[in-house]
Amino acid sequence: MYFIGNWKMFGGLNSLNSLHRVIKFYKGFKRNRLVKIIYCPPSTLIRPMSKKLKNSRIEVGAQNCHENENYGAFTGSINSKMLKDVGAKHVIIGHSENRQRGESNKKINNKIRSALKSGLKVVFCIGETSQEKRKKKTYQVLSNQIKTGLDKVKNTRNIIIAYEPVWSIGTGLIPKSNELIKIIHFIKKKYKNLKVLYGGSVNPKNIRELKSINNIDGFLIGGASQDAKKFIDIIKKTYN
Ligand code: PEP
């Protein structure tokens, strides 16, 4: 099971102090062979976090990248090659907070292909808005996002899908279990070998309900991942 922490635009160097607790927990956790932890901090923390997590088996990822795999005159941007250079092994692409700021499926596709070329693993986020859900367009939206996002991607071995309904991110709302089972099944039917995570308001309270969904391969965790105790609690409760 994957437990991926998305710190969003939170945290400075002093936030890294909380990692000691997670490293210690993970080392002593009996089922740790079943657990893959990946932290995606802001880009400014990738390097120091990678150093802190050295020898811990906890990996580091970025939260986005530029679509151009070469260096170039793109002020303020960072590409996948640069992320890899400072220690990232993964990158989140297609997060709804970036889609909402105008990132298109086509652009996401370019980013995914560029990240894979640079040797990063991709956490590809998809999800419908509340309006799309109300209009019963969820499956159509997800299909389009996946189809265009993975266009010309021949090998999906280094891609994990994170299904994150937009209406669930940061709201405390989660989908009904039967809906989630169906959606994950739908994604896996389209792409047989893909791992599918769920993301959206995962916390120590709702994890018991979410963990009972047996086709989920893990969780993308935003707010709760910034609190080491909550993050550890989520992992512990997934296994008992
Ligand atoms: C996210 O931003 O990917 C996310 C799942 O956020 P939260 O857990 O805070 O809803």
28-38 residue pLDDT tens: 999 999 999 99
Which one, of 56, 52, 125, 50, lies nearest residue 89 by Cα? 50
Count Cα atoms within 13 angstroms, Cβ side, for 106.
1
Kindly give the number of the ligand 1 atom that is closest to the alpha carbon of 168.
10
Q: Ligand 1, from 2, 8, 125, 205: best to mutate by most atoms within 8 Å of Cβ?
A: 8
Question: What pLDDT is recorded for position 191?
Answer: 83
What residue ranges do the domains of the chain occupy? 2-239
Compute the distance between CA of residue 185 and CA of residue 163 in angstroms, rounded to an integer. Answer: 11
Q: Are 172 and 162 in contact (CB under 8 A)?
A: no
Question: Is the shortest distance between the CB of 172 and ligand 1 below 6 Å?
Answer: no
**35 with 26: CB under 8 angstroms?**
yes
Burial tier of 124 (Cβ tally within 10 Å: 0-12, 13-18, 19+): buried
Residues of the chain with pLDDT under 50: none
Torsion region of 171: left, alpha or beta (phi above 0 gives left; psi -120 to 50 gives alpha): alpha
CATH tag, 2-239: 3.20.20.70
Q: Which atom of ligand 1 is nearest to the CA of 92?
A: 3
Contact by Cβ (8 Å): 80, 114: yes
Query: Residue 224, exposed/middle/buried by CB under 10 A (0-12, 13-18, 19+)?
Result: buried
Q: pLDDT tens digits, residue range 81-129?
A: 999 999 999 999 999 999 999 999 999 999 999 999 999 999 999 999 9
